[in-house]
Amino acid sequence: MRRSTLQRKDRGELNQIAAALGAKPSSRARKDEIIQLIIDLTADGARISQPAGESPPAEAAPGGSGEADQGPRSTDNAGAAGRDGDQNGEGSATNREESRPPDRGEDEVDTGNRRRRRRNRDRDRDRDDSWDGDPVAVAGRLDLRDEGYGFLRVDGCLPNRNDAYVPVKTIRQYGLRRGDHLTGTSRPANRAEKNPALLTLESINDGPAELSDRPQFESLTPIHAVRRLTLEQPEDPDAIAARLIDLVAPIGIGQRVLVSGPRRSGASELLTSLITAIETNEPDIFVMGLFLDQRPEDITEVRRCVRNGDVAATSFDQTPEEHVQTAEMTIERVKRLVESGRNVAVVLDSLTSLAQAYNAALSNAGRAYSGNVESGAVHMPKKLFGAGRNVSESGSLTMIASIVSDGSSSLPGVLSDEFVGTANTEIRLDRWAAQLGLFPAIDVSASVSRDEDRFIDADEVQALQDLRRGFTGGAEDDPGGVVKALETALSKLRSTASNTELLR
């Protein structure tokens, strides 16, 4: 075919000719590039043969290849799993034949092509016929996008070039939700793509890949805790923090626990000791550590502490969007576990760091409190903390989170005011006790469990109340009373082998 003949054709006709020759010109390819591609394809003597008066099959123009979760989304990956037609029941664009009126100009054809690309975006329409390699095993957590498709995060919660694209059809076919753990096979990204694409789905949350009638987390019935979360470790006499919490603020499975205190009062160390205690005493509870805006060396220590659970963490040099993405993906993951009947404990450090990340990410997107605090920066941490609950159907989500309590009109002060009354159990930390080197720096008289009588028998509740009065000695109003009460409590704990002996 002569170049002069091709020059007289419009862009739409050139795309159709190239498609008939087995090529897929890029949507950004110039007209001269498409002509050269056609000439190269026909250089060996191949020619196009068409019935008289009939146009070649129309090929849906490929969309732009977007990164996983950044900027415009990839549409070239859209046909990776389940390419049996588009989502609306129409035939695939590659299987439709369209006749174009002869009086349509090049501008009109280009407009029609762009319209078709918008209409077919994110549909499962591309074919894998050109790829004949071996499938690659892939596993990760599903992260859904607003457009309906998703990506399988294979390395943590943040976007990665190795994340596998999951098409809309697969998500709808199996009723997939954000946070689902999937395993399957994928194919590598082709020349026009930036991510691999999911080919087959083998398991969903360690179960078979089939559509199951699982409940929505929000539809589960929340109830009060009926079982105690045991923290005392008899084989470890140095685990004083866990023993003290069992005495002054017992925790029930499925409760919301707030560890509040000023900065540098030992909240992170206390949460780490709680992770160890839960994993030691409650093997049926899956522990998920969520540590945001931390120092890298502290993240390493937490990862070494968790033996059977999982840790999602971000360091202080990461962006607010990465903090938010990590927190949301982690909470969605544990919700999926609770939906399947699992008991989960989330240890979060801290709600203040999460609120600061939301405040920076929202950037004046809504109504603000005093001190330039966005309303969404307060609402989203409350929504995350409110996921903690015990459910009547089966399963529970115990939420243990720290929060900075100092401040007034700034974000920590506003956040502390908003969280008043949201927790079932509150553990207060004292600045002066921490400065004196006491650990845990717990304010014995201010820490409280409001519903302990629901999961502890009446005789033990009475014994615990008598013991707490013995710790404080009626000196709650004394400026040094907090330190004196804590020193008394720690002295009695070190002089006894167990809490049972101390309560006799």
- For residues 27 and 75, is the Cβ–Cβ distance under 8 A? no
Distance CA 354, CA 327 (A): 8
State the pLDDT at residue 107. Answer: 52
Q: Which residues pair with 185 in a beta bridge?
A: 137, 200
Residue 154 makes CB contacts below 8 A (sequence gap 6+) with 138, 139, 140, 160, 162, 163, 164
Instruction: Decide: helix, strand or coil at residue 256.
Output: strand
| pLDDT recorded at residue 365 | 56
Percent composition of the chain: helix, strand, coil (DSSP 3-state, to 5)? 35, 20, 45
Q: How far apart are CA 469 and CA 269, in angstroms?
A: 27
pLDDT at residue 373, rounded to an integer: 77
How far is CA 19 from its chain centroid? 40
Quote the pLDDT of residue 80: 43
The per-residue pLDDT for 111 is 58
What pLDDT score was predicted for residue 91?
A: 36
Residue 218 DSSP one-character state: G
Q: What is the pLDDT of residue 115?
A: 60
Helix (H, G, I), strand (E, B) or coil at 397: strand
* CA angle (304, 437, 274) in 5-degree steps: 35
Distance CA 206, CA 150 (A): 19
Closest listed residue to residue 381, CA positions, set 428, 415, 420, 332: 415
How far, in Å, CA of 125 to CA of 77, rounded?
9
CA distance linking residue 385 with residue 426, whole number of Å? 13
Backbone angles phi, psi at 227, to 5 degrees: -140, 140
179-200: per-residue pLDDT in tens?
999 999 999 988 888 999 999 9
For residues 95 and 85, what is the distance between their CA atoms, to the nearest angstrom?
Answer: 9
The candidate with the shortest Cα–Cα distance to 422, out of 193, 239, 257, is 257
Residues of the chain with pLDDT under 70: 1, 43-132, 363-371, 407-409, 474-479
* CB < 8 Å & 24+ apart, contacts of 476-480: 476/445
- pLDDT for 406 equals 76
